[in-house]
Amino acid sequence: MHRETSFPVSLTLGRRGNYWIQPEFQKRFILRILGLVTLATALTAAVTLGFVYWQDQAMKDRLFLITEQMGSDPMVMARWKILLPILIVSEMLIVVIAGIFSVLYSHHLAGPIYKICKTLETSAQGRSVEAINLRKGDEFKELADAINRFMVTRKS
């Protein structure tokens, strides 16, 4: 039961080369990270707004007076209405930063997986393979070292 593995490539960025080594894996990873980050920031914003709204209700006589322009009449504004735009912008920034981080980090996961799979597939076909060498910052170095040791003992 031999399964053909293909590794389509579609995006290249910077000097490190291809960032979409295993696109399906990387997309799932990125979506999971972004989902978690979005959920966490949305919960934080909801708890913050809920707390501030509750405080505003408890202290109705101590609301903020806001002026649109210097010299204009102040108007009463609840604190949650002041915080809402700030929380929305900060949540969007956090999600964008997490998205960039997850694309870069997924490369450090997918690259080694790709190299390890290719080495094992080549070895399974009976051809000789070179040691798996991973880049600085890549994950799965212990696994690559164990496979390299296995390949050496297998040759002997």
pLDDT tens-digit series, residues 126-143: 898 899 999 999 999 999
3 occurs within a structural domain: no
- 98-137 tens-digit pLDDT: 999 999 999 899 999 999 999 999 999 989 889 999 999 9
Does the predicted TM-score (pTM) go above 0.85? Answer: no
135 occurs within a structural domain: yes
- pLDDT score of 61: 66
Q: Number of structural domains, the chain? A: 1
Amino acid residing at 38: T
- 11-29 tens-digit pLDDT: 444 445 677 888 899 999 9
Q: For residue 39, give its domain range.
A: 21-149
| Residue 97: CA count within 13 A, CB half-sphere | 8
Higher pLDDT, 74 or 63: 74
For residues 127 and 145, give the distance between their C-alpha atoms in angstroms, rounded to a whole number.
Answer: 19
Q: Specify the DSSP class assigned to residue 73.
A: P
For residues 125 and 119, give the distance between their C-alpha atoms in angstroms, rounded to a whole number.
Answer: 10
5 occurs within a structural domain: no
Amino acid residing at 39: L
Chain-centre distance of CA 20, in angstroms? 14
8 occurs within a structural domain: no
